[in-house]
Amino acid sequence: MPLSQEEIRGLERKAWDIRKSIIEITFTCGGSHLGGSLSQTDVLVALYYKYLNIDPAKPDWEDRDRFILSKGHGGVGWAAVLGDKGYFDKALLKNFNKTGSPFGMHLDSLKVKGCDASTGSLGHGLAIATGLAIGAKLQKKPFRTYCMMGDGELCEGSVWEAAILAGHHKLDNLTAFVDRNRLMIDGPTESITTLEPLADKFKAFGWETLTIDGHEYAAIGGAIEQAWSIKGKPTMIICNTVKGKCVELMENQPSWHYGGLNSDLRDQALACIDSHYKTILG
């Protein structure tokens, strides 16, 4: 069922909070991977506040949906969502990436409730997600597995090994996303390793492929629900996004792949976010 306007407004308000949390956490901890955390936010918000079958009070519930953040450098944004959902006291995020904190820059599944797989080296998330989806099929479990990848990690061969295996096993319980912001730490993706035609590549590996605006909730929700109805193949949702979304000084700037914020930059970033959402929400 399509998202109602009331639901979309609720998700926009939640994304407003999450983006501000990303800025505040980054200011407190000294630095984080801001650009990609801001570009992935809307998809994560849609998943966690509407579509994932999860229970933060039971993080190890056997039949929960699984979410794998393959682009692990987006951990500051994921942690903000998990804390807001109640997996842990979000006050703990004040010590993000500090000595003794359970939160490293890449989240550790042994330390962070709600983290189904540790992150770090890029290119492994889709393989983990494929294994979980195969396991669900073998055990006749109802849960779905979701995986968020960055477009920069598509340079890794392990992504394509997993993609061909998922297609071979017809894993219609697997939905993956590419955060297609077209930038990686070294610059534009297409100047480093050509990815296009990206949708056709996944189709050739046996995937249903959808391309959407990754900041538009109606499109995100529609694609997720369409993936539920597809039988006999996994679904790849390519999300066209803006690196640093909602913070004008960071948008489409590879220099903000990672960065720190002084008080002036924090205030500028928060003002940009507030201005964006006040414009669209009134």
Residue 74: what are its φ and ψ, rounded to 5°?
Answer: -85, 15
DSSP 8-34: HHHHHHHHHHHHHHHHHHHHHHS-B-H
CATH code at position 15: 3.40.50.970
pLDDT at 120: 85
Distance (Å, whole) CA 67 – CA 140? 18
Which residues, in sequence order, are bridge partners of residue 210? 237
Instruction: Write down the pTM of the prediction.
Output: 0.97
- Divide the 282 residues of the chain into consecutive groups of 10 and give the mean pLDDT of each group: 96 98 97 97 98 98 98 97 98 95 96 95 96 98 98 97 98 98 95 97 98 98 98 99 98 96 98 97 88
Q: How many domains does the chain have?
A: 1
Range of the domain at 186: 5-281
Is 259 exposed, middle or buried (CB count within 10 Å of its CB: 0-12, 13-18, 19+)?
middle
Beta strands in the chain (DSSP E): 66-69, 145-150, 174-180, 183-184, 187-188, 208-213, 235-240
Residue 188: what are its φ and ψ, rounded to 5°?
Answer: -60, 135
pLDDT at 121: 87
Distance (Å, whole) CA 31 – CA 15? 20
